[in-house]
Chain A
Amino acid sequence: MVDKGWLTVSGIGRRSIESLLRLGFAARFLGLTLVQSLTCLRRPRLVVREVYFSGVLSLVIILVSGLFVGMVLGLQGYQTLRTYGSESALGVLVALSLLRELGPVITALLFASRAGSAVTAEIGLMKATEQLRAMEMMAVDPIARVVAPRFWAGVISTPLLTAMFTAMGIYGGYLVGVVLLGVDEGSFWSQMQNSVDFREDVVNGLIKSLVFGVAISWIAVFEGYDAPPTAEGVSGATTRTVVTSALTILFLDYILTSLMFRGL
């Protein structure tokens, strides 16, 4: 479908109305998913299976990325802090940047591209091959049976993956800073513990990752459910999941940061 006059007034209007329609449908879809989530409580195996595919299979990429992000932070932080003779603050730098920003954001970006796109493709293909309609014919609600478990699996997995990413990153910073570059081990940990606040830093980071998890899962299941039932449609939906998730995560991150860390 090549529409020629996309710059004309009517074209712009049509596009705006279309995006509004999609947004409204997405909101209604989220509501419907939440209502149908009772099935997940009755049949937790459905969620467990999806946590395996979304969460457990993302472990390797999350842990390896976490390690390397932490190592790079350690290296770069050391070079800069050495100029001021305060290498011992390296632990603080690594821990705070990972806990507050890099942990939640990079985990969410990786999770959206690794698991979110897969969920979209799976649901889109189910729709294209009319499996969803077949379920409806058998009086099985596809939202309860297919969409809700994948949604909740994403919401559960993201904070857990973020915690593992951050812990791995701090270990990476420790490896480079203390083992490789010879920062004093005692001051590395003690300055970190003095500056990192459990409520302000650890819990706020987890809240961030939970919000990102909801956003990614919502976008992923909605794009899959809304995909045009063709091969082209599914591929477009998968791309849109990754792009929309990335933009949403970064936008939400700014909003959340300005709300959480205002007084610090």
Chain B
Amino acid sequence: MERSSLDVWVGIFVVGGMVALLILALKVGNAGDLLRAGPTYTLTASFENIGGLKPKAPVRSAGVVVGRVGSIDYDPETFNAVVKLHIEQRYNRFPRDTFASIYTSGLLGEQYIGLAPGGDEKLLADGDRISKTQKAVVLEDLIGQFLTSRAGEPAGK
């Protein structure tokens, strides 16, 4: 049983397949994030309306991704959406009065949560609830408000 050029070709074939898979995982997919993701801590925030926010959407502060949206639930007591945020452990210095709002990247792009730190001395810890939140801007509401405000103005303007 001797080695032949056939083995070399099969070896190249298998390595090629693995490399392609690695490219798909790291360059095309998000496996790189999964590998890089360090320890996280969880904050909750309840919103009046989350618009089109989805699990795994980014959580940004000053535009930098500091975490991901974990789960989204509906609270039947307060009629609010309860969103769990998984924030990376190295960004654990958010003040207690941090403001969480839902933004849209671009005009019709994906939605994300923006954190605006306040000035409180005390810091948010694992399991805490962010009390200051702002609901998502729903385009239909905006158009509705615009139309009502226009209705009061004199015609022909």
Q: Which residues of A contact B (CB under 8 A)?
A: 45, 48-49, 51-52, 55-56, 59, 86, 95, 99, 157, 159-161, 163-164, 166-168, 170, 189, 192-194, 196-198, 201-202, 206
Residues in B106-145 with C-beta less than 8 Å from chain A: 108, 110
Q: Which of B1, B10, B108 contacts A52 (CB 8 A)?
A: B10
Q: Are A202 and B28 in contact (CB under 8 A)?
A: yes
Report the separation of the CA atoms of residues A164 and B7 in the bound assembly, to the nearest whole angstrom.
19
Report the separation of the CA atoms of residues A192 and B17 in the bound assembly, to the nearest whole angstrom.
21
Closest to B108 in A: A86
User: Which residues from chain B contact A48 at a C-beta distance below 8 Å?
Assistant: 6-7, 10
Closest to B110 in A: A194
Type the 1/0 row for B1-23, where 1 means its CB is closer than 8 Å to any CB of A: 10000110110111011101101
User: Which residues from chain B contact A56 at a C-beta distance below 8 Å?
Assistant: 9-10, 12-13
| Interface size in chain B (residues, C-beta < 8 A) | 26
Shortest A86–chain B CB gap in Å is 8
Q: Give 25 pairs: A residue, B residue, CB < 8 Å, sorted on A.
A: A45-B1, A52-B6, A52-B9, A55-B10, A55-B13, A59-B13, A99-B24, A159-B17, A160-B16, A160-B20, A163-B20, A163-B24, A167-B24, A168-B20, A170-B28, A189-B27, A193-B27, A193-B30, A193-B32, A196-B30, A197-B29, A201-B29, A202-B21, A202-B25, A202-B29
Closest to A47 in B: B10
User: Which residues from chain A contact B108 at a C-beta distance below 8 Å?
Assistant: 86
Q: Which of A45, A49, A59, A193 contacts B29 (CB 8 A)?
A: A193
Report the separation of the CA atoms of residues A86 and B110 in the bound assembly, to the nearest whole angstrom.
13
Task: Describe B's contact surface by its main secondary structure.
Answer: helix
A198-B30 CB under 8 A given contacts A164-B16, A167-B20: yes
User: Which residues from chain B contact A160 at a C-beta distance below 8 Å?
Assistant: 13-14, 16-18, 20
Q: Which residues of B contact A (CB under 8 A)?
A: 1, 6-7, 9-10, 12-14, 16-18, 20-21, 23-25, 27-32, 34, 56, 108, 110
Shortest B133–chain A CB gap in Å is 24
Q: Which of B6, B21, B25, B28 contacts A192 (CB 8 A)?
A: B28
Best-buried of A99, A157, A189, A202 by chain B (most CB within 10 Å): A202
Q: Which of A45, A51, A95, A166 contacts B13 (CB 8 A)?
A: A51
Q: Are A198 and B29 in contact (CB under 8 A)?
A: yes
User: Which residues from chain A contact B23 at a C-beta distance below 8 Å?
Assistant: 167
A99-B28 CB under 8 A given contacts A55-B10, A167-B23: yes
User: Which residues from chain B contact A95 at a C-beta distance below 8 Å?
Assistant: 28
A197-B30 CB under 8 A given contacts A45-B1, A48-B7, A55-B10: yes
User: Which residues from chain A contact B16 at a C-beta distance below 8 Å?
Assistant: 59, 160, 164
